[in-house]
A and B are shown apart, each in its own frame.
Chain A
Amino acid sequence: MERTPKALKVLTWLTSAVFIVALYLVLIWAPQEAIMGDVQRVFYFHVAAGWVGALAFLVTAIVGGIYLARGEQRWDRIAVASVEIGVVFTFINIVTGSIWARPIWNTWWTWDPRLVTATIMLLIYIAYIMLRQGIEDPDRRARFGAVYGIVGFISVPITFASIRIFRTIHPVVVGSSDPTALGAFDMNAEMRVAFFFSLFTFTLIYITLLWYRLRLQQQKEKIEERKLTALSS
């Protein structure tokens, strides 16, 4: 098995260090929100996780398009790796949102447009992973994944825009906020630093995980090829 590249090792250490700094910023450095109290601190990583989910699904759609144009398997590898990471972070986004909602909205769950569209988006990409596993032929599987990744991406801008175009109680923290939203707040300078640093940290985490996940996919394909050769000889 190939050794871990030095650049990936450096990136892993850098990401770990940046993550520790981000934890310090959101848990200690950023001030406590005046009304919601400590639960507001969940917001920093909640939004960052949602951002990684959207970014991962965008990458899947882009590499899907490239795969359809060029037909090279490496683009499909990136797509499947990216979807898996996107699903993990979208899950974090939804669950942390629910935990935040309990003391602020007085409920774990409500059928709000943002919550519904985010959950549908998560289910769409879980289905992507499950449906892929049912296709044996690698070319057909990659073609299916590419088309699904592009069409499925429609759910991402809908989820993003849902709190801006529908009547909702979900706060819009970045951009104009509806005063009727429950849990809306204005970020001060420290909060803004913690927020944007969290976005940067989670982007680094995404890149690092994607690199590892890609290497895993490459190794898996090599082993499968060797297994087929061993069986046929």
Chain B
Amino acid sequence: MMFQEGPADTLNYMIAGYAVILGTIGLYIVNIILRFRSLRQDEALLDEIEAGQA
């Protein structure tokens, strides 16, 4: 890059970087939503069991 005339063409690397950032944060949010959903299912099952015992 020492004798280049203009900025280097590094657009693809920028796109890859932002894909990683947005993808990882997005995956983590989806993971939290799925864990909430799984807890809600567990809660519904416990409600059913407790209603059956009463």
Contact = CB atoms under 8 A, between A and B. Distances in A.
Interface in B5-49: 7-11, 13-14, 16-18, 20-21, 24-25, 28-29, 32, 35-36, 39-40, 42-43, 46, 49
B9 A42 contact: no
A230 B17 contact: no
A213 B32 CA distance: 7
Given A216-B35, A223-B42, A92 B14 contact: no
A209 interface: yes
A88 B28 contact: yes
Contacts of A34: 7
Given A35-B8, A103-B13, A88 B43 contact: no
B21 A1 contact: no
Interface size class of A (residues with CB under 8 A): 35 or more
Contacts of B43: 1, 219, 223, 226
A119 to B, nearest CB: 16
Given A46-B17, A213-B32, A37 B49 contact: no
B8 A37 contact: yes
A190 interface: no
Contacts of B28: 85, 88, 209
A152 B17 CA distance: 28
Contact of A37 (B9, B18, B20, B29): B9
Contact of A32 (B4, B7, B42): B7
A216 B32 contact: yes
A106 B42 CA distance: 50
A9 to B, nearest CB: 14
A212 B53 CA distance: 33
B39 A220 contact: yes
Contact of B7 (A37, A212, A223): A37
Given A41-B17, A92-B25, A226-B46, 6 more contacts: A37-B14, A38-B11, A39-B10, A41-B14, A100-B13, A220-B39
